[in-house]
Amino acid sequence: MSKKRILSGVQPTGNLHIGNYLGAIRNWVEMQPQYDNFFCVVDLHAITVPHNPEVLAKDTYTIASLYLACGIDLQYSTIFVQSHVSSHSELAWLLNCTTPLNWLERMIQFKEKAIKQGENVSVGLLDYPILMAADILLYDADQVPVGEDQKQHLELTRDIAIRFNDKFASEENPVFKIPEPLIKKEGARVMSLSDGTKKMSKSDPSELSRISLLDSPEMIKKKIKKCKTDPVMGLSFDPQRPECNNLLTLYSIFSNQTKEKVALECADMGWGKFKPLLTEATIEGLTPIQEKYEEIMREKGYLDTVLKEGKEKAEMVANATLKRVKSALGFLV
Ligand code: AMP
Ligand code: TRP
């Protein structure tokens, strides 16, 4: 039996933070041997908000390299750049024309991002989930591993696929496979270091709110030292204590210990004792990734080869799906 397929992606907007790693990439690495995997750097998504053309290519290299540094293995997985495979844009257009506008207007992430953009909201920002649906549906993905925040986009993708199949295909011969979201509970939502009720995010203006995968040990130490805590004595996984809950979860993940064990270890601890432990575990967790990253970035030619081969493999799958879609819609193919 052939393996089930996974597709996922991250936007090349700056560096990755530990939320991206724990909520997404770490799970991809763990699962990859059991699946046929496609991981893309979604650069077309990165221009849905104003972007700087001078850093887009550099950021794209950074993310591709971090995929490898975090442990994505080319033996199981294909790594490619979204804009290298033109079927993504083309399918997005076709889906634009078969999806009701009000499905997009409901998207929470759009509303949140649109508020931040003020007058400058692009059509692309509204259309972002359609492009994401195209990314997923082109590869007949069975599972899409993402963080909790992407759940609504996955539901939309399923709705788009179901509606398309209903309208343009027969039950025995559907055009699209209906994908399933794969959201891990642990690490699914890493919270900001400055506010335990807010998601850790690349777009937060404060660098102190997040730990980046490439932060130096000194920087990690500084950020954890300054992070928000609460005045309660003794630490616990109490949902009423968002900062405490978040920091203990991070500690449990980076120190490879169960929550139960951490709860016991930290029950009588104060922040003064806990913070150095968390700092050390975080640095230990990130050092191997940083070393591998440096090694890959020193060899630019290597990354180009990986991305070229990835493009070729991705194109074979994506182009075949696109042809199926166009044919179902009645195009002369
Ligand atoms: P983005 O940074 O929005 O491109 O997200 C890339 C991946 O990381 C997606 O699968 C997100 O769901 C996941 N992700 C982003 N921020 C977080 C967070 N704070 N906690 C957990 N997962 C996250
Ligand atoms: N929207 C996703 C995010 O911000 C990124 C993304 C784009 C994606 N296309 C995708 C994730 C396809 C999974 C599958 O995190």
Pairing mode, strands 77-81 and 4-10:
unpaired
**Cβ–ligand 2 contact at 42 (below 6 Å):** yes
Look at residue 185 in the predicted model and tell me its pLDDT: 75
Which residue, chain included where needed, has tokens 């024309």?
97
CA of 27 to the centre of ligand 2 (A): 15
Give the end-to-end CA distance of the chain in Å, rounded to a whole number: 31
Which residue, among 254, 205, 197, 204, has the nearest Cα to 228 in the 3D structure? 197
Q: Which of 4, 177, 184, 202 is catalytic?
A: 202
Mean pLDDT within 310-321? 98
Please work out whether the CB of residue 20 comes within 6 Å of at least one atom of ligand 1: yes
Specify whether the CB–CB gap between 213 and 21 falls below 8 A: yes
The ligand 2 atom at the shortest distance from the C-alpha of residue 82 is 9
- Is 147 touching ligand 1 by the criterion CB < 6 Å? yes
Ligand nearest 179 Cα, by number? 2
Nearest residue CA, atom 8 of ligand 2? 9
What pLDDT does 81 receive?
98
Over residues 204-226, the pLDDT tens digits come to 999 999 999 999 999 999 999 99
The candidate with the shortest Cα–Cα distance to 136, out of 94, 178, 73, 78, is 178
- Is residue 173 scored above 90 in pLDDT? yes
Residue 199 CA: nearest ligand 1 atom is: 19
Please tell me if the CB atom of residue 45 comes closer than 6 angstroms to any atom of ligand 2: yes
Look up 202 and say whether it is catalytic: yes
Mutation to probe ligand 2, out of 5, 7, 10, 38 (largest number of atoms < 8 A from CB): 10
Is 131 within 8 Å of 88 (Cβ atoms)? yes
On whether the CB atoms of residues 217 and 278 are closer than 8 A, the answer is: no
58-94 residue pLDDT tens? 999 999 999 999 999 999 999 999 999 999 999 999 9
Q: How far is the CA of 109 from the centre of ligand 2 (A)?
A: 12
From residue 64, how far is each of 50, 78, 303, 307, 310 by CA, in Å?
22, 11, 8, 8, 11
Strand order in the sheet with 35-41: 77-81, 35-41, 4-10, 143-145, 180-182
With 80 as the cut, is the pLDDT of residue 162 above it?
yes
Asked if residue 150 has its Cβ within 6 Å of ligand 2, the reply is: yes
Question: C-alpha dihedral over 326, 329, 331, 333, to 10 degrees?
Answer: 40
Residue closest via CA to ligand 2's atom 14 equals: 8
Cα of 132 from ligand 2 centre, angstroms: 6
19 Cα–ligand 2 center, Å = 14
Q: How far apart are CA 311 and CA 30, in angstroms?
A: 23
DSSP line for 265-281: HHTT--HHHHHHHHHHH
**Is 12's C-beta closer than 6 angstroms to any atom of ligand 2?**
no
Q: Does residue 24 have its Cβ closer than 6 Å to ligand 1?
A: yes
Q: Decide: helix, strand or coil at residue 225.
A: helix
Read off the pLDDT of residues 8-17 as tens digits, 9 standing for 90 and up: 999 998 789 9
- Ligand 1 lined by 244 (C-beta under 6 Å): no
pTM: 0.92
Question: What is the share, in percent, of the chain residues with pLDDT greater than 70?
Answer: 99
Strand pairing report for 35-41 and 180-182:
unpaired
Query: If you average pLDDT over residues 129-136, what whole number do you get?
Result: 98
Select which of 4, 113, 221, 313 is catalytic: 113
